[in-house]
Amino acid sequence: ATILGTLIGVGRLSKNWLVAKITSIYVEVMRNVPLLLQLFFWYALITENMPGPRQAHNPLPGVFISNRGLKVPALEGNSLDWMLAGLGLAIVAILFLGHWGKKR
């Protein structure tokens, strides 16, 4: 949503007459349509036009897009792995902040 909003905002400020008018019309139309109606529209558009789980799109290895949503693989590990990763991140942060504090 942030990227789309930025692109539409930049398009609205564009010196190209056609781009500026199209994005202005889009903004004015979307501004006057209730949010719930927009959500229903986008939900119906996505769920009706996406394939089922067995025919899901596979843009990257392990990533699947279907009418049930976006499925991305998650890292599996026991709690010790996550604790060690957090400890390592904390040590790096402490070293960085100590180095940054000395420069100030």
For the stretch 51-89, pLDDT in tens is 988 999 999 998 999 988 889 988 777 778 888 999 999
In this prediction, residue 37 has a pLDDT band, given cuts at 50, 70 and 90, of very high
Structure token pair of residue 80: 């010790």
Given this model, what pLDDT does residue 23 score? 94
What is the model's pLDDT at position 103? Answer: 78
User: What's the burial of 55, exposed, middle or buried (CB within 10 Å: 0-12/13-18/19+)?
Assistant: exposed
For residue 44, how many other CB atoms are within 10 A of its CB? 10
> Which residues, including other chains, have CB under 8 Å from residue 83's CB and lie 6 or more apart?
none
Residue 70's φ and ψ, nearest 5 degrees, are: -100, 125
pLDDT bracket for residue 94 (50, 70, 90): very high
Residue whose token pair is 């709690």: 79
Distances in Å between the Cα of 4 and the Cα atoms of 26, 76, 94 are 12, 33, 37
